[in-house]
């Protein structure tokens, strides 16, 4: 068996940067070397492990073996930065040595409780965060590719090398203003009306509304869509009648009871289970972040008894 110990850390980081940026040229600029040097380092790494690590297309695509090493590079860099940060003494408080954590989060969690968890962790660690907003159906892929160390995801099955913690579930109601409902659903909510009525979605990865339509009609429909990629403005777009949409149940219960908003299919309220997945690392920082995220999520959801 080939001895894979003592992999060149420079080549390992070069591979990770090339995958993240998509081309040898971009990686070369970040690493302050030539594109040829980037290519040679990766070729040497491929020779060392005996596997092809990259598909030489644009953007560069890692093979399965390449993904394993990209994850290793990111994990190694995290542990190194965390160790350096711990070595900073109290006399060096002005030091700019911080660990940086890349994390993938869905929009509703980011808007609801996630920033509180980050603030709690930063109060106890020298850490900054790179928060990648992504739909809950796609965040796990960021973990698989080694782009983030943790993610809030809708997937209960652990990504290889990761631990999963259940956070709870978000419950939604499909609603519209009274005027919008009267204009588009006067004859009922069905395949014809749902195909024609404008809908509001967060972005092109947001499948909640289309999943709801498919469950109600058992058909794949393509209604006109307005994309509003901000939680606050998404909610407002529905409330001013730009279209119907799925809003968090606890945020609209009183408006439904008052009649300000009308539920398209009363009682048909989809639920989205959320999980926290993170790499299994000997990292006190990741452990503390996990505790903070789980605590913040459960407190936030407990304050909304309908959920």
pLDDT at 306: 56
Q: Which residue has the higher pLDDT, 98 or 301?
A: 301
pLDDT class of 199 with cuts at 50, 70, 90: very high
Q: Which residue has the higher pLDDT, 1 or 112?
A: 112
pLDDT at 93: 56
Average pLDDT in the 227-252 region?
95
| Segment holding 170, helix H or strand E | strand 162-177
Taking the C-alpha atoms of residue 184 and residue 298, their distance in angstroms, rounded to an integer, is: 37
Q: How many CA atoms lie within 13 A of 304 on its CB side?
A: 21
pLDDT at 99: 82
pLDDT class of 4 with cuts at 50, 70, 90: low
pLDDT class of 1 with cuts at 50, 70, 90: very low
The b-or-e profile of 213-242 (16+ CB within 10 A means b, else e) is: beebbeeeeebebeebeebeebbebbbebb
Q: Are the CB atoms for 121 and 289 separated by under 8 Å?
A: yes
Task: Indicate whether 92 pLDDT > 80.
Answer: no
pLDDT at 190: 95
Ordered by where they begin, the domains of the chain are: 1-97 (1.10.10.10), 170-271 (3.40.190.10)
Q: Which residue has the higher pLDDT, 212 or 3?
A: 212
Which residue has tokens 């092109």?
A: 204
Please write the tens of the pLDDT for every residue from 132-167. Answer: 999 999 999 988 888 889 999 999 999 988 999 999
pLDDT at 275: 97
| Alpha-helix residue ranges (DSSP H) falling in the chain | 9-21, 24-31, 35-49, 64-87, 107-109, 115-122, 139-144, 178-184, 191-196, 208-217, 231-239, 249-258, 284-302
Strands 99-105 vs 150-153: parallel, antiparallel or unpaired: parallel
Taking the C-alpha atoms of residue 24 and residue 57, their distance in angstroms, rounded to an integer, is: 11
How far CA 277 is from CA of 154, 162, 164, 273, in Å, comes to 10, 6, 5, 13
Task: Indicate whether 24 pLDDT > 70.
Answer: yes
Identify which of 265, 249, 117 has the alpha carbon closest to the alpha carbon of residue 189.
265
Taking the C-alpha atoms of residue 245 and residue 304, their distance in angstroms, rounded to an integer, is: 20
| Segment holding 174, helix H or strand E | strand 162-177
């Amino acid at each position: 068996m080939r001895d894979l110990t003592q992999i060149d850390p420079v080549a390992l980081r070069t591979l990770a940067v090339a995958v993240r940026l998509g081309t040898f040229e971009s990686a070369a600029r970040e690493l302050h070397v030539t594109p040829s040097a980037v290519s040679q380092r990766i070729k040497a790494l491929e020779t060392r492990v005996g596997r092809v690590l990259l598909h030489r297309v644009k953007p560069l695509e890692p093979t399965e073996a390449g993904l394993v090493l990209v994850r290793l590079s990111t994990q190694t860099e995290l542990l190194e930065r965390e160790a350096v940060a711990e070595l900073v003494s109290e006399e060096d408080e002005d030091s700019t040595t911080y660990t940086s954590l890349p994390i993938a989060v869905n929009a509703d969690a980011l808007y609801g409780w996630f920033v509180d968890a980050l603030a709690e962790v930063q109060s106890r660690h020298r850490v900054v965060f790179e928060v990648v907003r992504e739909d809950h159906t796609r965040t796990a892929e960021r973990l698989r590719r080694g782009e983030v160390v943790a993610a809030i995801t809708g997937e209960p099955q652990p990504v290889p090398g990761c631990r999963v913690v259940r956070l709870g579930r978000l419950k939604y109601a499909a609603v519209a203003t009274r005027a919008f409902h009267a204009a588009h659903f006067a004859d009922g909510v069905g395949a014809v009306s749902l195909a024609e009525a404008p809908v509001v979605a967060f972005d092109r990865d947001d499948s909640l509304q289309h999943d709801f339509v498919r469950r109600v009609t058992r058909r794949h429909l393509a209604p006109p869509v307005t994309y509003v990629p901000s939680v606050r403005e998404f909610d407002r777009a529905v409330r001013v009648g730009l279209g119907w949409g799925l809003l968090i149940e606890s945020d609209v219960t009183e408006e439904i009871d008052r009649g300000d908003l009308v539920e398209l299919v009363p009682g048909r309220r989809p639920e989205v289970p959320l999980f926290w997945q993170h790499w299994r690392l000997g990292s006190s920082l990741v452990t503390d972040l996990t505790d903070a995220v789980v605590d913040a999520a459960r407190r936030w959801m407990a304050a909304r008894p309908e959920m």
